[in-house]
Structure 1
Amino acid sequence: MNTTTNINISSTQAAYTISSVISKDGTTIGYRQIGNGPGLIMLHGANVSGLDFTQLAEALADSFTIYLPDRRGRGLSGPFSKDYSIQEEVEDLTALVNKTGAHLLYGVSAGGLISLQAALSLASIEKIALYEPAILTDGTTHTAWLTRFDQEMAEGKVAAALVTCMKGLELGGPVMNAMPNWLIESLTNATIKSEDKKAKPEDITMRKLAPTLHYDGLLLAEMSGKLESFRAVNAEVLLLGGSKGLPFLKPSLDALEKTLPHVAKRVEFPGLEHGGSNNPTQTNRGSKPELVAQELRQFFAKA
């Protein structure tokens, strides 16, 4: 599939080519493409899609050909399989790398974890930038929410399930943990309904993304304690994070800095949270993709 569409990003209209690739198991993986120059794939994390990187892509499109895939279960891409694992994500990314010839990766959260795992088998990857990759160094502490989440989703309690996930991953910090669940659920439900009313059929809403959190939870559990395997990553790596990022991922960045053999630099952005490089939204007001773009440009320009 090759078409052209106009997507509103930042203050300008930018033309994206929408294409797809077929993964090893026959699943379609769709992606958007913009820019000119060396190929750079940006792999998003949980509860978002490739569209959340449009402002970041725009900031770099003058120097790189940017590919924004939707991971499985989201937007342009096909469904998860019954035997989902990180290998499935790696095969999806591998298919895109093989089609595009891209040698550069940028991964956020779960996308960063997948990027590292893929680099173990993709010798063509030269450089990887990681923003708070979702690598657990504390056992399965931050996957204990998954059972309750699955039960609430099965009962159709989407807002409650989202709150369970947010609290389980400490996404709201001490303030959210201090608030009663009924209040957070009420606010979350109101946000979901408001978004549903305004959404176009093709929009990737909170309600559509909610089921995908189950699979990101499985990914976290599967890869917990696998840090040592990344000593074999040959690509040069840039480690990024925000001073207000997820507390339980900072030790992971510390550990990666000591474990990865080719760390070029580590940067902490003052004031940025876990979604610091994503588009600013109502629930991600403090992001500054332009700041992250500066570091990415400098790092990848030397490729």
Structure 2
Amino acid sequence: MRTAELTEGAVESRDGTTIGYWKTGQGPAIVILHGSMESARSHTLLAEALAGDFTVYLPDRRGRGLSGPHRPDHTVRTEVEDLEAVLTSTGAEFAFGVSAGGAVVLEAARTLPGLTKVGLYEPAIVDNPTPHWEWLARFDREVAAGNLAGAMVTSMYGLQLAPAFLKVIPRRLMTRMTEKMLVKDERQAAPGAVTMRTLAPTIHHEGALIAELAGTFEAYRAVSAEVLLMGGSKGLAALKPWRDALEKALPHCRRVEFDGLDHGASSDPGGTNPGGSAKAVGRIADELKAFFKQS
């Protein structure tokens, strides 16, 4: 399978943190913002599918790959400022975000003047912040103790990512299984790859971001950009009711629900997305191309 030819670049966010990105293609600029337990390279196939019509920028969100670390005062506003730095440097008026990255893109569309069209895939906007603050406390304790596998299990349940059949497996066994997955991922990773063990601590900031934005649906009535709001029939069931709420709030919204696609459908297969496929990416790419090319 051919992969996109990517070149490396970087910008400086408002607080001086480096935000690195990969670039490919030609044409109008699109910025793709990845989700949780992902890095910029998680959307290489999507970038390749769009590269014939667009210049695609794949930034690493903080704590990953080419970008600098999180700071103690990190908030959703920090994430928006990081995205703003990339948008300003590239002149992009289009953006696409996935899950927590989709929440950042939507908040940017609400607060920044330059975005005219945004695509969102299962954006992580929910109604109640309390459950996320609750699991984050345990997650932080486990990370501090060096138990990254246990912390990942905590986040999986906290973010309601666990399929029903996994919920009957004892937590201790789930932790052992997760540790084996982390070891396998490290063993198979290419030199310089962003591994799941490296990504695991960043989940704290994803949970905090989701909690911070919880219940903000009415605020998005102020979004002037056109929005393509997408999800999958096999995606996160916990997020679907809140896509319904977003669709009602957004003034210029087109809704697409893909039959058979899951939460990781826009991302490259592998790692935490074993069910991914080039075919699924292609279906999302086709919708994005039609949306962003439409005048």
Q: TM-score, normalised by structure 2?
A: 0.96
CA RMSD of aligned residues (A): 1.2
1:281 shift after superposition: 1.5
1:142 shift after superposition: 4.1
Q: 1:280 aligns with which of 240, 257, 269?
A: 269
1:200 shift after superposition: 4.1
1:121 shift after superposition: 2.6
SS at match of 2:178: helix
1:298 shift after superposition: 0.8
Cα gap change, 1:279/1:146 in structure 2, threshold over 3 Å: closer, same or farther? same
1:13 shift after superposition: 4.2
SS at match of 2:5: strand
Q: 1:81 aligns with which of 48, 53, 71?
A: 71
Counterpart in the other structure of 1:47: 37
Q: Would the aligned equivalents of 1:132 and 1:249 in 2 still touch at CA under 8 Å?
A: yes
Counterpart in the other structure of 1:161: 151
Q: Distance in 1 between matches of 2:187 and 2:244?
A: 43
Counterpart in the other structure of 1:184: 174
Q: Distance in 2 between matches of 1:218 and 1:283?
A: 20
1:282 shift after superposition: 5.1
Q: Would the aligned equivalents of 1:24 and 1:91 in 2 still touch at CA under 8 Å?
A: yes
Q: Distance in 2 between matches of 1:92 and 1:246?
A: 27
Q: Distance in 2 between matches of 1:82 and 1:121?
A: 23
1:290 pairs with 2:279: no
Q: Distance in 2 between matches of 1:224 and 1:56?
A: 28
Q: What amino acid sits opposite 2:286 in the alignment?
A: Q
Counterpart in the other structure of 2:102: 112
Counterpart in the other structure of 2:252: 262
Deviations 1:179-204 (A, max 9, x none): 11122111111111122223344111
Deviations 1:98-150 (A, max 9, x none): 10000101011111111111112322211011101000113423442111111
SS at match of 1:239: strand
- What does residue range 16-95 of structure 1 map to in structure 2 within 5 Å? 16-95=6-85
Counterpart in the other structure of 1:302: 294
1:270 shift after superposition: 1.3
Q: 1:238 aligns with which of 199, 206, 228?
A: 228
Counterpart in the other structure of 1:8: none
Q: Which stretch shows the higher mean deviation, 11-20 or 95-104?
A: 11-20
Q: Would the aligned equivalents of 1:163 and 1:184 in 2 still touch at CA under 8 Å?
A: yes
Gap runs ≥5 in structure 1:
1-10
Gap runs ≥5 in structure 2:
none
SS at match of 1:107: strand
1:175 pairs with 2:165: yes
- What does residue range 188-267 of structure 1 map to in structure 2 within 5 Å? 188-263=178-253, 265-267=254-256
Q: What amino acid sits opposite 1:245 in the alignment?
A: G
Q: Would the aligned equivalents of 2:24 and 2:51 in 1 still touch at CA under 8 Å?
A: yes
Q: Would the aligned equivalents of 1:140 and 1:224 in 2 still touch at CA under 8 Å?
A: no
1:96 pairs with 2:86: yes
Q: Would the aligned equivalents of 2:92 and 2:115 in 1 still touch at CA under 8 Å?
A: yes
Q: Distance in 1 between matches of 2:179 and 2:132?
A: 24
Q: Distance in 2 between matches of 1:219 and 1:142?
A: 9
